[in-house]
Amino acid sequence: MNYAINTTIMTIDKKRSSRYSQKMKNWFVYILECADKTLYTGITTDIKRRVEQHNKGVGAKYTRARLPVKPVFSIEVADRSEASKIEYKIKKLDKKEKLALIAENKSRISLTD
């Protein structure tokens, strides 16, 4: 896996984040696993709501034909711009690299919980 991309994805610039007030919504970058085992990457301010939309068939066109979907990865970032940049980097990864990112994130979470 390209660890430079992974480091960029997993690092949040704290100086940048501190400029935003509590009123600003945080953004999430997420990966869904579709029923056909393909992966879909997107951004949102509310993951639960967005997954429900996908599963009701009102989400992205890609997921409508691949229901149900389930979330397998998410990270929180400070703003939409940062979320879009990370989403773009993830979408450029091949499936093997995305699966490694998902696995690394799960192991990191289980070690800290």
Name the β-bridge partners of 71. Answer: 32
Read off the pTM: 0.76
Q: Is the bond preceding 71 in cis, omega lying within 30 degrees of 0?
A: no
pLDDT band at 6 (very low <50, low <70, confident <90, very high): low
* Band (109; pLDDT cuts 50, 70, 90): low
pLDDT digits (tens, 9 = 90+) for 40-96: 999 999 999 999 999 999 989 999 999 999 999 999 999 999 999 999 999 999 999
The 10s digit of each residue's pLDDT in 17-45 is 444 444 567 999 999 999 999 999 999 99
- Domains, the chain: 3-10+24-112 (3.40.1440)
**Beta partners for residue 40, in sequence order:** 32
Best CA proximity match to 29, nearest among 13, 40, 15: 40
- 41 SS3 class: strand
User: What is the torsional sign of CA 18, 19, 25, 30?
Assistant: negative
